[in-house]
C-alpha cells in the first residue's frame, strides 16, 4: 500500500489489493514487451476510467478526475530512462 495515504482496510482487503496489483503490474510489464507502452497505457487508462465512471457517482467521478489532475507532478516513471 502507499506510504502517503492511510486507508482503513480490513486485512483481507489489503491482501486482495496487493495481490491484484502484483498480477496487474506483471501483466502490464509483459504487455509493454509485446506492444508499444503508449498503446498499453492508453488502453489501461480507458479501462480504468470506464470502471471508475461505472462505480462512482457523477460527483465522485469528477472529484476523482480532479484529484488525478492535482497529483500530476507526483507520478513517477516506470524507469529512469526517458523515451522522449
Round to whole Å and give the CA distance between 20 and 40: 18
Listed by start position, the domains of the chain span 11-71
What pLDDT, in 10s, does the model give residues 17-58? 999 999 999 999 999 999 999 999 999 999 999 999 999 999
Residue with cell 486482495: 16
Round to whole Å and give the CA distance between 84 and 82: 6
pLDDT value for 1: 40
Per-chain mean pLDDT for the chain: 88
Q: What angle do CA 70, 67, 73 make, to 5 degrees?
A: 30
Amino acid at each position: 500500500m502507499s506510504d502517503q495515504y492511510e486507508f482503513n482496510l480490513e486485512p483481507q482487503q489489503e491482501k486482495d489489493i496487493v495481490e491484484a496489483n502484483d498480477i496487474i503490474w506483471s501483466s502490464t510489464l509483459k504487455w509493454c514487451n509485446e506492444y508499444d507502452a503508449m498503446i498499453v497505457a492508453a488502453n489501461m487508462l480507458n479501462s480504468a476510467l470506464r470502471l471508475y465512471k461505472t462505480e462512482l457517482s457523477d460527483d465522485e467521478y469528477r472529484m476523482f478526475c480532479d484529484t488525478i489532475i492535482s497529483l500530476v507532478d507526483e507520478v513517477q516513471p516506470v524507469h529512469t530512462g526517458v523515451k522522449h
